[in-house]
Amino acid sequence: MSWLNRFLFSFFVTGVGVVSPYFASAQNSQIDSLTMALKKSVSDTNRAFYLNKLSFQYENIGNYIMADSMSHQALNLATKEGYKRGIALAYTQMASVYEDQGNYQKALENFSKALAIRKQLKDKSGTANSLKRIGFVYNEESEYSLALGYLQEASMIYQEIKDKHGIAMVQIDIGKVYTNQGNYAKALEEHLNALNVLEETNDTSNMILTYQNIGNVYSGQKAYDKALDEYRNALLLSEKKQDTTNIADAESNIGLTYSNKGEYPKALAENFKALDIRTKHNDKNGIATSLINIGGIYYAQQDFPKALDYIGRSLDIFEKIGNKDGVAACLGGIGQVYQMQKNYPKALEFENKSLDLAKSIGSLDDIASSYLTLSSTLELTGNTGKALEYYKDFIKYQDSISNKENTKKTVQAEMNYNFEKKQAAEKADQDKKDAIQAEAVKKQKIVIYSVSGILLLVIGFAIFAYRSNLQKQKANRELDIKNKKIEAAYTIIETKNHEITDSINYAQRIQQAILPKKKEILESIPESFVLFKPKDIVSGDFYFFANRNNTKFIAAVDCTGHGVPGAFMSMIGWEKLNDAVEETPHTGEVLKLLNRRIKTALHQSNDRDSTRDGMDIAICSMQYNPGGLDLSFSGANRPIWIVRKGTKQVEEIKATKRSIGGFSEEDQDFEEHQLALKHGDSFYIFSDGYADQFGGEKQKKLTTKKFRELILDICELPMNEQERHLDDFIEKWKVNSEQIDDILVIGIRV
């Protein structure tokens, strides 16, 4: 048995694949529609929904950069709104993109975050889906025990909620795990059960997948003609759907089956077709699979230099994407080629590496094959004792894979499937006859029921009128009682509301006490203003000012949320920011310290249940000089705008695209910008509340663009007049709208 038998079938790739022109056109049309819907959306919740949809469409056409960007934007908006279902959907979509790119660690991390939220929401369907996706990724990483655990838990939930399609899809994934473990009887049983459901619902796409998987099982049992039949079924359906991804998979599997039959020219032709499709789409796992398959065929033809070349290229890719099963197969294949070249030390080196890795992932096929190749190499070196020991190990594992009981179960499962199909056809025919007879009886009953119905209608009307009068009297009595209860409840609510309002007003006094007085800022920086307009009594935005060793610090901070939750965050943020500026004059270092201390204070970590609250901030440190001002700026998702004297344009310095706390890394760095300002230059820092406010005649968002234009219109006015103008404008703008967020704008002229 050569190493090639380890690859009796190609890996079944479930990625997006190469897109047909018709499909691509449809996808682009959907992207255009979703983009228009996104632009028209007012609420962040709806925007998060459309961003997730757009990410899915971009993923389908293989544009992973856009897909990743859209899913991250969706996550940010859903997190900002506290929209948990949207957060779970964004994590799932983000994980799906990582999965397609072969980044399984990131995929598992994000699927697990989605699972935690869906369990918290008691969303059974979503929980089952997350469990299934995690199980699938573990199978891709060759962690078969973990994969089965997650998939079986998903199956139980799908059965509980009676989701037939979900049950079928889990059965397909469980079948794949059993195939990878060499448990072919159980694999075939799972796939045939799934095929029953898919044929009932005419789910062509997943029927293709199941035919491929059944072919893989037959290949594993060396029933190559049956395997070819199943692969051709898959190819036929794929060609009808113009599904090039599944066409490539079917051709690859047909090619390997030809190779196993010794028909090498046909095998190479089919595998090169598959490689061409996968290369066009940059399908890393598929490319690596095609390369090792081609290398195996060259090995069978004793073209060893080409075999080493193709297997080596495959090994590089499998190692980069973390496919342990693929790495084990490549190592064994290279060892076998070196054996044929009589380079026995190299052969033993690679074969032992393959065995160690196969044992670590529990793949029976790979372990058996490694023992056989090691036994063969050791025998050639004259170490017959060790060779016999390894051969016995090979027999032990090989028997557990393809013993007579497994073969018996495989045939039995196939017979059960055919028998159930026959029973279903007979039942459908009998149901049709029963329906005709039932229709005749139904017509006879209609006449009888019609006459009886008229009589009952008259009697029923009289009873209805009498009961209606009684119910009306009862309802009037109950309404009187309810009105009295409502009046009592209203009195209680009024009292509670007064108590709550008093508590919040007291909290406002505490918050105002820690904020720097505007008078203090004006005394230190005469040409400045601070426009501060909380949405509620207390605020999630806050401004910060400090004078440390001839260096002045000023910051505009936007905490997660507003009202009471935002106020709590602002109190913590002010304290940690004040401590940070005591330690360093560098704004980038200040934000790094602030981020670390916020995460420590809120006990934030990578755990699923960790809080994700945080803040965005723009902070400046200032040192005056004879010519003007040396300004250092750092931002976490908030920029700084600079207007030079005598110009009519805004110079924007962008922030580091990470928040303080929340999802940022503990050692997150924040960029520091050094700027030289001259006398007469102005700069502005602000939260997002001003630009996001709705109002005007059409009740639209003000937008950052209009806010920028407004700054340019007033930038030459004295700073106190700029503040008054900004205040008047926003009050007129939102005259018929509720303020949606805290508003904070800080302006300074050198």
Q: Where does the pLDDT of residue 405 fall: very low under 50, low under 70, confident under 90, or very high at 90 and above? A: very low
Task: Calculate the alpha carbon distances from 130 to 51, 59, 154 in Å.
Answer: 20, 18, 8
Instruction: Return the pLDDT at 429.
Output: 66
- 8-state DSSP, 607: S
In this structure, of 139-153, 464-478, 516-530, the range with the lowest mean pLDDT score is 464-478
CB 681 within 8 A of CB 550: no
Nearest Cα neighbor of 260 from 616, 519, 10 is 10
Instruction: Return the pLDDT at 306.
Output: 94
Instruction: Return the pLDDT at 430.
Output: 67
Highest mean pLDDT: which range of 151-165, 478-492, 550-564: 151-165
**Backbone dihedral angles phi then psi of residue 286, each to the nearest 5 degrees:** -65, -40
Q: How deeply is 107 buried, as exposed, middle or buried, from its count of CB atoms within 10 A (0-12, 13-18, 19+)?
A: buried
Q: Is pLDDT above 60 for 403?
A: no
Instruction: Return the pLDDT at 528.
Output: 96
Q: Is pLDDT above 70 for 442?
A: no
The domain that holds 728 is classified in CATH as 3.60.40.10
Q: Rounded to whole angstroms, how far apart are CA atoms 175 and 310?
A: 29
Nearest Cα neighbor of 11 from 287, 237, 229 is 287
Output the 3-class SS for 365-408.
HHHHHHHHHHHHHHHHCCCHHHHHHHHHHHHHHHHHHHCHHHHH
Q: Where does the pLDDT of residue 16 fall: very low under 50, low under 70, confident under 90, or very high at 90 and above? A: very low
Q: Rounded to whole angstroms, how far apart are CA atoms 314 and 294?
A: 10
Q: Is pLDDT above 50 for 482?
A: yes
Same domain, 546 and 469: no
**Backbone dihedral angles phi then psi of residue 547, each to the nearest 5 degrees:** -120, 110
Q: Rounded to whole angstroms, how far apart are CA atoms 3 and 299?
A: 10
Same domain, 499 and 522: no
Would you say residue 444 lies in a domain?
yes
Same domain, 500 and 577: no
Q: Is pLDDT above 60 for 423?
A: no
Q: Is pLDDT above 80 for 476?
A: no
Hunting for tokens 């930038």 — which residue is that?
715
Would you say residue 246 lies in a domain?
no
Q: Is pLDDT above 70 for 226?
A: yes
Would you say residue 435 lies in a domain?
yes
Same domain, 594 and 712: yes
- 8-state DSSP, 4: G
Same domain, 720 and 648: yes
Q: Is pLDDT above 50 for 4?
A: no
The tally of domains found in the chain comes to 2
Q: Rounded to whole angstroms, how far apart are CA atoms 441 and 586?
A: 90
Would you say residue 372 lies in a domain?
no
Highest mean pLDDT: which range of 135-139, 230-234, 397-401, 637-641: 637-641
Q: Is pLDDT above 80 for 686?
A: yes
Q: At what angle do helices 304-321 and 284-300 cross, to 10 degrees?
A: 160
Q: Where does the pLDDT of residue 119 fall: very low under 50, low under 70, confident under 90, or very high at 90 and above? A: very high
Instruction: Return the pLDDT at 56.
Output: 85
Instruction: Return the pLDDT at 515.
Output: 84
Strands (DSSP E) contained in 626-728 are: 628-636, 640-643, 651-653, 660-661, 673-678, 682-686, 694-695, 700-701
* Residue 200 tokens, joined: 């009932």
Same domain, 563 and 686: yes
Of 679 and 472, more confident: 679
CB 337 within 8 A of CB 299: yes
Q: Looking at this protein, which amino acid is placed at residue 532?
A: F
Q: Where does the pLDDT of residue 13 fall: very low under 50, low under 70, confident under 90, or very high at 90 and above? A: very low
Instruction: Return the pLDDT at 433.
Output: 65
Instruction: Return the pLDDT at 42.
Output: 77
Of 485 and 288, more confident: 288
Share of the chain above pLDDT 70, in %: 79
Q: Rounded to whole angstroms, how far apart are CA atoms 271 and 296?
A: 11
Instruction: Return the pLDDT at 552.
Output: 94
CB 332 within 8 A of CB 373: yes
- For residue range 271-323, what is the model confidence (pLDDT) as tens digits? 999 999 888 888 888 899 899 999 999 999 999 999 999 999 999 998 887 77
Would you say residue 677 lies in a domain?
yes
Report the pLDDT averaged over residues 38-57: 85
Q: Where does the pLDDT of residue 18 fall: very low under 50, low under 70, confident under 90, or very high at 90 and above? A: very low
Q: Rounded to whole angstroms, how far apart are CA atoms 117 and 482?
A: 39
Same domain, 527 and 482: no
Same domain, 483 and 522: no
Q: How deeply is 723 buried, as exposed, middle or buried, from its count of CB atoms within 10 A (0-12, 13-18, 19+)?
A: buried
Would you say residue 664 lies in a domain?
yes
Give 465's contacts (C-beta < 8 A, 6+ positions apart). Answer: none
Q: Where does the pLDDT of residue 1 fall: very low under 50, low under 70, confident under 90, or very high at 90 and above? A: very low
Of 458, 490, 514, the last residue of a domain is 514
No. of helices (H) and no. of strands (E), the chain: 26, 13
CB 642 within 8 A of CB 631: no
CB 598 within 8 A of CB 679: no
Share of the chain above pLDDT 90, in %: 38
- Secondary structure element (H or E) that encloses residue 146, with its range: helix 144-160
Instruction: Return the pLDDT at 185.
Output: 85
Report the pLDDT averaged over residues 376-402: 80
Would you say residue 745 lies in a domain?
yes
Which sign, positive or negative, has the C-alpha torsion 199, 201, 204, 210? negative
Of 514, 545, 578, the last residue of a domain is 514
Q: Is pLDDT above 80 for 354?
A: yes
In this structure, of 160-174, 239-253, 412-426, 498-512, the range with the lowest mean pLDDT score is 412-426
Q: What is the extent of the structural domain holding 503? A: 429-514
Tally of CA atoms within 13 A in the half-sphere of 399 that contains its CB:
6
Q: Rounded to whole angstroms, how far apart are CA atoms 385 and 745?
A: 83
Q: Rounded to whole angstroms, how far apart are CA atoms 298 and 294?
A: 6
Same domain, 499 and 552: no
Hunting for tokens 């901030």 — which residue is that?
617
Q: Where does the pLDDT of residue 116 fall: very low under 50, low under 70, confident under 90, or very high at 90 and above? A: very high
Same domain, 576 and 636: yes
Same domain, 627 and 482: no
Would you say residue 533 lies in a domain?
yes
* Residue 651 tokens, joined: 């110079």
End-to-end CA distance of the chain: 82
Q: Is pLDDT above 70 for 479?
A: no
Report the pLDDT averaged over residues 213-227: 87
Q: Looking at this protein, which amino acid is placed at residue 446?
A: I
Q: Rounded to whole angstroms, how far apart are CA atoms 7 and 326?
A: 9
Which sign, positive or negative, has the C-alpha torsion 652, 655, 659, 663? positive
In angstroms, how far is CA 389 from the centroid of its own chain? 48
Report the pLDDT averaged over residues 583-605: 91
Q: For the chain, what is the mean pLDDT?
A: 82
Of 480 and 732, more confident: 732
Same domain, 439 and 587: no
- For residue range 151-186, what is the model confidence (pLDDT) as tens digits? 999 999 999 999 988 999 999 999 989 888 878 888
Q: Where does the pLDDT of residue 451 fall: very low under 50, low under 70, confident under 90, or very high at 90 and above? A: low
Q: Rounded to whole angstroms, how far apart are CA atoms 279 and 120?
A: 42
Instruction: Return the pLDDT at 398.
Output: 72
Q: Rounded to whole angstroms, how far apart are CA atoms 100 and 433?
A: 50
Of 494, 514, 534, the last residue of a domain is 514
Q: Rounded to whole angstroms, how far apart are CA atoms 205 and 634?
A: 51
- 8-state DSSP, 627: T
CB 635 within 8 A of CB 656: yes
Instruction: Return the pLDDT at 12.
Output: 29
Report the pLDDT averaged over residues 15-27: 37
* Residue 197 tokens, joined: 């459901």
Q: Is pLDDT above 80 for 68?
A: yes
